[in-house]
Structure 1
Amino acid sequence: MMNIVPAASEPLLRVRDLKVGFASAGGTLEAVRGIDLDVSRGGVLGIVGESGSGKSLSMLAALGLQARNAVVSGSVHFNNQQLVGRPRKEMRKLLGSRIGMIFQDPLSSLNPVMKIGDQIREVLFLHDRRLTGKGATGRVMDLLQLVAIPQPDRRINQYPHEFSGGMRQRVMIAMAIANDPELLVADEPTTALDVTVQAQIMRMLRDLKEKLGLALILITHDLGVVAGHADRVAVIYAGQVVEEAEVHELFANPRHPYTRGLIASIPKLAASGSKLYSIPGAPPRLGAYPEGCAFHPRCIHAQDICRTTAPPTIAFGRHRSACHFADRLPPWDRANEAERQGQNG
């Protein structure tokens, strides 16, 4: 079958109306409720939101990695190939080759009884049956050097427990890029790492993106990570994209109250001694979404329409916000936003 080469202007990954639900005694519980996203070739998309917002689940489902009891609908095109509903055998050919994935916890993602070198070789052999043992070992050494693991000739024969958290994360990155993917999905790549190692990992991902020409999706709750490394940012709340914009535009002029709350929650060095701000309330439970705008119980700008009617998505060029008052919110000022909503320690 002839492969169609997409036009340069077409996104590498196009997600439309992606929904993910789970069957229960009371019916299907929707966890992801109609997400639209584009990832450009060579671009970096940051996906942010609180824990349980659906950011990781949406990307896992887009790549066919959802739980077996999940119900997925919508459209996900990668290089003009539809992924939703694609047989698992065919998805395995894409995952690990054209699409790489860095999972949240490297310690649980790595096999504790296999040497690091054997685990990376396995990824190589799965996608290239012609590879020889000597060739695979050489490639493993190259990959370990590429992710800045010292003494690769020694490290290749060690087990995961002999590596630090940052070193295990580097091994996960090496496995994800082993077969020269076009798209790399990094799910909370800096979780549980100290700030110095976090900076090293993010710098490495940026350098690899430039060197290998990767498109990158960064899934994180850390707005500081996306501020320094993403081109565009999608903010997810209660299984929906509530705002999406170029990274500089999003931080300079957020047009959704949830995004404003997230930015106001970032600790400021100059505010030493003052109370840390956090968004009041808690995200809705799965299957217990409020009527109207899902964020309205926590929103100081909410009015009657927010409690009864789901907001439309309002576009301002390439900046879009799912808020009834996206074009009428007060001028953005981080300090004033925290003051408006009240310090809740």
Structure 2
Amino acid sequence: MMQFSSPASHPPLLRVRDLRVGFRKHGQVLEAVRGIDLDIARGEVLGIVGESGSGKSIGMLAALGLAPPNAVVSGSVQYLGEELLTKPRREMRRIRGAKIAMIFQDPLSSLNPTMRVGDQIIEALRLHQPQMNARQATQRALELLELVSIPQPDRRLRQFPHEFSGGMRQRVMIAMAVANGPDLLIADEPTTALDVTVQSQIMRMLRELQAKLGLGLVLITHDLGVLAGHANRVAVVYSGQVVEQADVFDLFQNPRHPYTRGLIASIPKLTESGGRLYSIAGSPPALGRFPPGCAFHPRCERAGDICQQLAPPKTTIGGSGHVSACHFANALPEWDSAEARVKE
């Protein structure tokens, strides 16, 4: 497992407190994100992991003012101490793409199919840097394609998105995201639908760009293997809440929430052959149908009566900022990191 030093001494670029996102339906507000707290520092890589529908993506979209019209958003999201949730749309447009940029999950649907790739990059540049003329923007677009290792950038500028492979389109999205020198980059499932080799190339390139440019980087994924090699810290999200947050090494060596343990145990291992893969029993609760107490208790093998009655408090594990929202965080059995199984 690769290790990267965490810039804990830096003040947070983005500070998220009690972020809640709900959706209006038939006169009700159904909460999808239920009180998330996160800090992202300059030069840090924060991984956000969870199953599909856990709220990890919509939380970050809402933080940037990109939630759907029927969403109800509350809490606090501060960029360098400046509150974002109360900013008018015009001011948020000046911040998005310039100070905080996002790489969306599907590059094919995110890129305009009717515009040449070069025109789209130039548009992103001149929107935030109006003093840049056409010639300067074209030269900068060429440099950006070279930065993300796209061959023959002068020819590629004149092509349309459908003429690029999936990995190439993702590189274009990354080039657009870093075009205006943002402080923070949010990558939402940046390797979705890419083969393993291309996934590795994209993640290596993202990590190198993050280190070279000194960006804060948020990696949203369902793949713990990606985070093991690239994140400083990991926040595990379940049913719209952060159930565990820790340094990446601590999380894999000493997970203190049953859901985190289930996710790690579900990772296929090269040393195992035959037999059934481990999976967490049951399914996540539907939106607006969260059970009382701990939302994970219907799927948890260690749930007790208290789990069905009371929401678990945040328990601090040691002194390294490791936090778990589990009633039995300090009473879970020893974790065998080599076998990735709980010793019962």
Q: Does the pair score TM above 0.5?
A: yes
Structure 2 vs 1, CA of residues 315 and 338 (structure 1 numbering), >3 Å: closer, same or farther? closer
Structure 1 window deviating more from structure 2 (20-29 vs 81-90): it is 20-29
Alignment of 1:331 onto 2:344: no
Match of 2:323 among 320, 325, 343: 320
Distance in 2, matches of 1:187 and 1:30, equals 21
Question: In structure 2, what residue type is equivalent to 1:60?
Answer: L
SS at structure 1 position matched to 2:162: helix
In the TM superposition, residue 336 of structure 1 has moved relative to its aligned partner by 6.9
Deviations 1:130-166 (A, max 9, x none): 1111000000000000000000010000000000000
Structure 2 vs 1, CA of residues 336 and 15 (structure 1 numbering), >3 Å: closer, same or farther? closer
Residue number in structure 2 paired with 1:131: 132
Residue number in structure 2 paired with 1:145: 146
Q: Is the 8 A contact 1:311 1:323 kept in 2?
A: yes
Residue number in structure 2 paired with 1:52: 53
Distance in 2, matches of 1:87 and 1:24, equals 25
Distance in 1, matches of 2:326 and 2:198, equals 37
Q: Map 1:161-172 onto structure 2 (within 5 A).
A: 161-172=162-173
SS at structure 1 position matched to 2:132: coil
Q: Map 1:110-129 onto structure 2 (within 5 A).
A: 110-129=111-130
| Superposition misfits of 4+ residues, deviation over 2 angstroms | 333-340
Residue number in structure 1 paired with 2:220: 219
Q: Map 1:66-145 onto structure 2 (within 5 A).
A: 66-145=67-146
Structure 1 window deviating more from structure 2 (158-167 vs 22-31): it is 22-31
Distance in 2, matches of 1:184 and 1:9, equals 17
Q: Is the 8 A contact 2:264 2:340 kept in 1?
A: no
In the TM superposition, residue 35 of structure 1 has moved relative to its aligned partner by 0.3
Q: Is the 8 A contact 1:255 1:321 kept in 2?
A: yes
In the TM superposition, residue 339 of structure 1 has moved relative to its aligned partner by 8.4
Deviations 1:186-206 (A, max 9, x none): 000000000000000000001
Q: Is the 8 A contact 2:65 2:85 kept in 1?
A: yes
**Aligned-residue CA RMSD in angstroms?**
1.3
Distance in 1, matches of 2:148 and 2:56, equals 26
In the TM superposition, residue 9 of structure 1 has moved relative to its aligned partner by 3.5
Residue number in structure 2 paired with 1:180: 181
The TM-score normalised by the length of structure 2 is 0.95
Aligned length, in residue pairs = 334
Q: Is the 8 A contact 1:277 1:338 kept in 2?
A: no
Distance in 1, matches of 2:100 and 2:80, equals 11
Distance in 2, matches of 1:337 and 1:310, equals 26
Residue number in structure 2 paired with 1:36: 37
Residue number in structure 2 paired with 1:197: 198
Question: In structure 2, what residue type is equivalent to 1:337?
Answer: R
Distance in 1, matches of 2:176 and 2:120, equals 8
Deviations 1:169-198 (A, max 9, x none): 000000000000000000000000000000
Residue number in structure 1 paired with 2:4: none
Distance in 2, matches of 1:103 and 1:244, equals 24
Q: Is the 8 A contact 1:261 1:338 kept in 2?
A: no
SS at structure 2 position matched to 1:12: strand
Q: Is the 8 A contact 2:98 2:128 kept in 1?
A: yes
In the TM superposition, residue 301 of structure 1 has moved relative to its aligned partner by 0.5
Residue number in structure 2 paired with 1:264: 265
Question: In structure 1, what residue type is equivalent to 2:96?
Answer: L
SS at structure 1 position matched to 2:341: helix
Q: Is the 8 A contact 2:334 2:343 kept in 1?
A: no
Distance in 1, matches of 2:244 and 2:208, equals 28
User: Structure 1: which 5+ runs fail to align?
Assistant: 1-7, 341-345
Distance in 1, matches of 2:53 and 2:179, equals 30
In the TM superposition, residue 337 of structure 1 has moved relative to its aligned partner by 3.2
Alignment of 1:253 onto 2:254: yes
Structure 2 vs 1, CA of residues 116 and 252 (structure 1 numbering), >3 Å: closer, same or farther? same
In the TM superposition, residue 338 of structure 1 has moved relative to its aligned partner by 6.8
Question: In structure 1, what residue type is equivalent to 2:332?
Answer: L
Q: Is the 8 A contact 2:32 2:239 kept in 1?
A: yes
SS at structure 1 position matched to 2:108: helix
In the TM superposition, residue 79 of structure 1 has moved relative to its aligned partner by 1.0
The TM-score normalised by the length of structure 1 is 0.95
Question: In structure 2, what residue type is equivalent to 1:103?
Answer: F
Question: In structure 2, what residue type is equivalent to 1:196?
Answer: T
User: Structure 2: which 5+ runs fail to align?
Assistant: 1-8
In the TM superposition, residue 274 of structure 1 has moved relative to its aligned partner by 2.3
Q: Is the 8 A contact 2:335 2:342 kept in 1?
A: no
Deviations 1:258-277 (A, max 9, x none): 00000000000011222111
Q: Is the 8 A contact 1:33 1:240 kept in 2?
A: yes
Distance in 1, matches of 2:300 and 2:14, equals 32
Structure 2 vs 1, CA of residues 258 and 87 (structure 1 numbering), >3 Å: closer, same or farther? same
Structure 1 window deviating more from structure 2 (61-70 vs 226-235): it is 61-70
Q: Is the 8 A contact 1:11 1:41 kept in 2?
A: yes
